[in-house]
């Protein structure tokens, strides 16, 4: 899901200059990211962009005072709020993490492993700052075994992102868009069998970063309540890495 359709992310580098490459990477990944290397420049962007700015990404080295100053400067002009601010970098001390949570911050990415994680963090906080009528569930990165059944033939697959409405399934020789198929996903709580429709397909893997494997984006038929609960539980487990703690 391309969250930049719903607003922009401000990458506020403070004074360290550590997030410039991060901002460029996000732009290359399709995130609408704006960059400021100090609070004065960020405040100018906030006035120019207004409520199109829905989230902010700050370095984890920012002090509590700097984070407070950033929110005071940005919040009056934008949709940026504590829950739509994320930190990235090395994990701060436990006392600072506790203080950040008390301020309402929720999201982080300590020691990012790849560009896909960074993109998900950015889309997650933009989702947090989106209007209620635009709040489509974010696609949560997961790695779950699955099988796909098309015309009575089953093949192994892997779920790489997930919502209660759909998923991306990595598999070779993917079926064409428009096909209906059966999907069984091995969730931590047990297997869930769903009917799905192929919305788009990537016939061959594409180099990254991030690498894009061959596979299909599918939309599920409406899951039953128990299935929806199981999917939400798996999503919550996938999001745990990004929770501020």
Are 7 and 127 in the same domain? yes
Are 130 and 20 in the same domain? yes
Are 217 and 165 in the same domain? yes
Please answer whether residues 7 and 55 qualify as being in contact, where contact means their C-beta atoms are separated by less than 8 angstroms: yes
| pLDDT at site 30 | 83
Are 7 and 128 in the same domain? yes
Whether 106 maps to a domain, the answer reads yes
Please answer whether residues 176 and 214 qualify as being in contact, where contact means their C-beta atoms are separated by less than 8 angstroms: no
Low-confidence winner among 39-43, 211-215, 232-236 (lowest mean pLDDT): 211-215
| pLDDT at site 233 | 93
Q: Is the pTM of this model over 0.75?
A: yes
Q: Which residue has the tokens 């038929």?
A: 221
Are 122 and 155 in the same domain? no
| pLDDT at site 15 | 61
Are 121 and 14 in the same domain? yes
Are 129 and 144 in the same domain? no
Range of the domain at 50: 3-134
| pLDDT at site 6 | 60
Domain final residue pick, 100, 134, 168: 134
Measuring CA to CA, how many Å separate 226 from each of 107, 108, 113, 136? 28, 30, 33, 21
Are 126 and 7 in the same domain? yes
Please answer whether residues 198 and 103 qualify as being in contact, where contact means their C-beta atoms are separated by less than 8 angstroms: no
| pLDDT at site 131 | 65
Whether 243 maps to a domain, the answer reads no
Q: Which CATH number does the domain housing residue 223 bear? A: 2.40.10.220
Mean pLDDT of all residues in 141-146:
92
Are 96 and 19 in the same domain? yes
Question: What is the percent of the chain with per-residue pLDDT over 90, rounded to a whole number?
Answer: 68
Question: What is the percent of the chain with per-residue pLDDT over 70, rounded to a whole number?
Answer: 93
CA distance 196 to 29: 27
Mean pLDDT of all residues in 51-78:
95
| pLDDT at site 130 | 76
């Amino acid at each position: 899901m391309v969250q930049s359709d719903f607003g922009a992310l401000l990458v506020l580098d403070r004074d360290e200059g550590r997030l410039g490459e991060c901002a460029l990477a996000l732009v290359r990944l399709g995130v609408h990211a704006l960059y400021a290397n100090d609070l004065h420049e960020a405040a100018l962007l906030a006035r120019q962009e207004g409520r199109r700015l829905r989230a902010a990404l700050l370095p984890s080295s920012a002090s509590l005072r700097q984070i407070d100053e950033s929110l005071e400067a940005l919040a009056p002009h934008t949709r940026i709020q504590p829950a739509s601010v994320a930190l990235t970098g090395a994990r701060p001390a436990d006392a600072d993490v506790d203080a950040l949570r008390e301020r309402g911050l929720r999201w982080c990415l300590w020691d990012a492993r790849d560009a896909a994680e960074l993109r998900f963090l950015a889309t997650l906080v933009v989702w947090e700052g989106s209007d209620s009528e635009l709040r489509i569930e974010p696609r949560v990165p997961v790695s779950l075994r699955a099988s796909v059944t098309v015309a009575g033939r089953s093949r192994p697959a892997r779920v790489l992102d997930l919502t209660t409405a759909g998923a991306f399934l990595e598999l070779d020789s993917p079926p064409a868009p428009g096909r209906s198929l059966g999907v069984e996903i091995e969730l931590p709580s047990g297997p869930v069998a769903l009917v799905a429709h192929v919305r788009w397909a990537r016939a061959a893997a594409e180099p990254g970063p991030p690498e894009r494997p061959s596979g299909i984006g599918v939309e599920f038929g409406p899951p039953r309540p128990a299935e929806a609960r199981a999917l939400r539980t798996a999503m919550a487990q996938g999001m745990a890495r990004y929770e501020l703690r």
